[in-house]
Structure 1
Amino acid sequence: MLLRRLIPTTTRLLHSTHLAMAEPQAKKLKLEKTTIGTHSGTFHCDEALAVFLLRNTEKYRDSEVKRSRDQTVLDTCDIVVDVGAVYDESRNLFDHHQRGFTEVFGHGFETKLSSAGLVYKHFGKEVIASKIQLSIDDPKVTTLWLKLYKQFIEAIDAIDNGISQYNTDVSPRYKSSTDLGSRVASLNPWWNQPFNSETLDAQFEKASRLTGEEFMGKLDFYANAWLPARDLLISAIEASKATDPTGKIILIAEQEHLFDFEAEQQTPEADKAIYVVYPDEGGNWRIQAVPVASESFESRKALPEAWRGLRDDTLSSATGVDGCVFVHASGFIGGNKTKEGALKLAQMALAM
């Protein structure tokens, strides 16, 4: 009987002791949750994205955000972005507004960084590696890190720093307000809406999610569509040497990777590809002159002037190649009904 009475009592004592130990532990874990500091008031695209990126690192995952310009408040944060007038990685301070700040991403990029670029420069590889489940030292992570800066982050840096996209004073023909920065700005309260910290903080969280969704969407595309296409290009370059040992005619549909690959390999101008040959959606084959740059309308070597604007039998008679379909009036592209015919046109054009 005595033993039966002691067992519940002992159990209660052990349970109480466990609770007493667990409660401080829970409080300790709560106190250890990291915080990210950024400025209060109107928010912008760069710090919204910077916060999202930090929340996708191991150290700052799901951190709370303190939005303030009070230095005593910011001093309590584990990391501070876009406020404080100091850039010092060793102290986790990432502002870009201070006089004399000239930090750039490097690797050929010369745009001054915003808080988005600063955080991406230091933490971007970790975010990418975690998302695609590769080691941070994997070359594919570096490739994606550079590509996403070029295609996504750099524009945010430039816009936030007031850097024009073009070296011109010509007025634009139209107004664009559909870019990410404009959409983030539109989440700030209107002049006739409540402009208090609670409203601004809630809207800032929406802005951070918006920038993050677009960043992750871009990462998903470049990791799962663009990067595999790059591998195909490298294979195509090797395979195409059986047809054209000079490497100037490539059997491939995707050209975007070609410019990146040539830059990485530091391909001499004399050895760069001139034409790509590929099947079109109608079952015919195309021969396209490679442009001098990905954004350019000027070709490295357009198809011969004597062929331009001709079609079908007329073009076949002019070239001596059966199955011709057309050559564009500008000479940037042409077509033939067969792979062999398109390759023959490319070879002839190369020699002319």
Structure 2
Amino acid sequence: MTPEFLVTHSGGFHADELMSSAVLSRLYPAARIVRSRDAAWITPGSDRIVYDVGGGYDAERNLFDHHQRDAPLRDDGQPFSSFGLVWQHFGKAYLAALSVPQADIETVHAKVDAGFVLPIDLLDNGALSPTVAGPLAGMTLPGLLETLKPVFDQGGPTAETEAFHNALTIARAFLEARVARSAAGLRADGMVMDAIAAAGQGRVLELPMGMPFRPAVIRAGADHLLFVITPRGEGDWTLGGIAKEAQGFDLRADLPAAWAGLTGEALERASGIPGAEFCHNGRFIAAATTRAAIVAMAERAVIEAEAAGH
């Protein structure tokens, strides 16, 4: 089936049908998005996919609503929004359309579902209160997308539709970026595991480029690693701390206190290392102009950290 129409409701829009539209319009770019509550449109048919409207959930009829009684639930009892339903049925095809490697699709699908789709589902259903973000509640992605609605006393009869399509462009960009980041994380895992093996029992992990490394380090049980070296470009190397946990900012060891907040010649004098360029006052990252300098800084940081009992 190749639908001619992607049908969702008219009126105010929310993140769930925007994200559903992003998925479906990628898979069916020739289909026209129709926003309506007219029964003639929201009734399932062979030429359409209906979502976030229609009063039912029937994947075989391409109907994906969640507002009705006995609305569908996830296996753990948490509610779906239309985005979760569309992601469940079309997400893997969407990932393939974005050129995610076939071997990674299952994992990326699950990661995006847990970290991106589910929060939108919960917020849309009132199962997660926006107040959990406190004063930043309006800065959540659903909140930001809703700020793109036209204000009540401006715009004409097409204002809501125009605003919807403007918001859809932004929603699409966020979803594609989240997918790209999840897929990149899998690519990084293999490179980080190779670097952990190369480090052996050393205390410093050296990576060939900037990449997400914390999940692999923790999963590998490489608790002996204290610092990570990464090149950022010609004449620019960094030395950073490694967090204790998968989430949070507490480090296994800080950079030397004598380096905190220093730059250039002042840092070179304090460290005794030519080419030392910068150390953040928070002692979680430092920089140098050469690999030799950053390696020397790492060695000095390890000596001080071990003396402090790390």
* TM-score, with structure 1 as normaliser: 0.63
8 Å CA contact 1:249–1:346 kept in 2: the answer is no
Structure 1: 4+ residue segments shifted above 6 A: none
Identity over the aligned pairs, expressed in percent?
A: 25
Distance 1:285 1:182 in 2: 36
Aligned to 1:21: none
Whether 1:259 aligns to 2:200 is no
Aligned to 1:79: 49
Aligned to 1:275: 227
Distance 1:205 1:131, change over 3 A: farther
8 Å CA contact 1:49–1:212 kept in 2: the answer is no
8 Å CA contact 1:287–1:333 kept in 2: the answer is yes
- How many residues matched? 297
Q: Secondary structure at the match of 2:34?
A: strand
Aligned to 2:152: 190
Aligned-residue Cα RMSD (Å) equals 4.3
Distance 2:280 2:234 in 1: 17
- My pick for the range that moved more, 153-162 or 175-184, is 175-184
Distance 1:114 1:194 in 2: 29
Aligned to 2:89: 122
- Runs of 5+ in structure 2 lacking a partner? none
Written as runs of structure 1 = structure 2, the 5 A alignment for 1:4-43 is 34-43=4-13
Distance 2:6 2:58 in 1: 15
8 Å CA contact 2:44–2:62 kept in 1: the answer is no
Aligned to 1:47: 17
Distance 1:185 1:335 in 2: 40
Aligned to 2:105: 141
8 Å CA contact 1:323–1:341 kept in 2: the answer is no
> Which residue identity does 2:187 align to in structure 1?
D
- 1:201-245 per-residue CA deviation (whole Å, 9 max, x = no partner) reads xx436524642454256526854x875576356335424543x20
Whether 1:65 aligns to 2:37 is no
- Runs of 5+ in structure 1 lacking a partner? 1-28
Distance 1:288 1:33, change over 3 A: closer
Distance 1:117 1:147, change over 3 A: same
Distance 2:155 2:275 in 1: 67
8 Å CA contact 1:45–1:211 kept in 2: the answer is no
Distance 1:140 1:105 in 2: 23
Distance 1:57 1:280 in 2: 37
8 Å CA contact 1:35–1:63 kept in 2: the answer is yes
Written as runs of structure 1 = structure 2, the 5 A alignment for 1:321-336 is 324-325=276-277, 327-336=279-288
8 Å CA contact 1:54–1:61 kept in 2: the answer is no
Distance 1:247 1:149 in 2: 37
- 1:229-284 per-residue CA deviation (whole Å, 9 max, x = no partner) reads 76356335424543x203752213535x2234357xx433x637432112356825
Q: CA deviation at 1:131?
A: 3.1
Q: CA deviation at 1:94?
A: 1.8
Q: CA deviation at 1:303?
A: 2.9
Whether 1:215 aligns to 2:215 is no
Distance 1:33 1:234, change over 3 A: closer
Q: Secondary structure at the match of 1:55?
A: helix
* TM-score, with structure 2 as normaliser: 0.70
> Which residue identity does 1:56 align to in structure 2?
R
8 Å CA contact 2:10–2:37 kept in 1: the answer is yes
Distance 2:225 2:75 in 1: 29
